[in-house]
Amino acid sequence: MTSGRSRSSPFATTLALAVLCCSALAACGPAAAPTSAATGASPSSGWGTDAEIRQPGTDLFWLRCPLGQTWRGGACAGNPRAMIWREAGGACPPGYRLPTRQELADLLGGCDADVDDEKAGWCASCRDSDTCGELFGADDGWYWSSSRKLLANAWSAAFHNGRVRWNDASLGAAVRCVR
């Protein structure tokens, strides 16, 4: 016995949703850029919004918020999303990427000789760093870099204390994206 309802196939449902989305985007006009659900930022590299900020003295542009948070009312809202290193490598919106180990160290600044020699060491905390503090305030996250260390490890930086070291790539850490 059947009810009077028709069941659509998953393909038909997906096609219908795609048509609705395309129609909605077309109605917005060319000035509206799509946004990333993870960051609230436009994925194109030429957008002019306050969801990204330029690092002084460089050509680097950082998303203001770690993945999982959105920029609202002059602050990051929500919780940063922790992910393993392999997942983090593909998590940034189009046009953005994970920062290198050196980019994280330069952002923190005030690094000791070990960090400068590409060893584990200490930099300034984000709160105590002129550059990081200016861009991200008292951020206390632990962030992956794109730089690998041996087979199962990757470099990361702890913004709360400035520690730059390699960690097991299967651990969860937050992600800051840069372009």
Determine, yes or no, domain membership for 88: yes
Domain extent, residue 75, equals 52-168
Q: Is residue 81 part of a domain?
A: yes
As for how many domains the chain has, the answer is 1
What is the mean pLDDT of the segment spanning 99-105? Answer: 97
Q: Is residue 137 in some structural domain?
A: yes
CA distance 127 to 134: 9
Q: Is residue 27 situated within a structural domain?
A: no
% of the chain beyond a pLDDT of 70? 73
Selection from 73, 105, 83 nearest residue 38 by Cα: 83
Residue 60 resides in a domain? yes
Angstrom CA distances, 124 to 41, 65, 113, 176, stand at 28, 20, 13, 18
Tracing tokens 């390699």 back to the chain, one arrives at 166
CB atoms within 10 A of CB 158: 21
Which one is predicted more confidently, 71 or 25? Answer: 71
Position 8 in a domain = no
pTM value is: 0.73
Contact 12, 19 (CB under 8 A): no
Mean pLDDT to the nearest integer, 163-177:
96
**Phi-psi bin for 108: left (phi > 0), alpha (psi -120 to 50), beta?**
alpha
Q: Does residue 178 belong to any structural domain of this protein?
A: no
Least-confidence region, from 9-13, 47-51, 91-95, 136-140? 9-13
Mean pLDDT of 170-174: 97
Residue 82 DSSP one-character state: P
Mean pLDDT of the chain, nearest integer: 79
Which residues pair with residue 52 across a beta bridge? 63
**Is 35 part of any domain?**
no
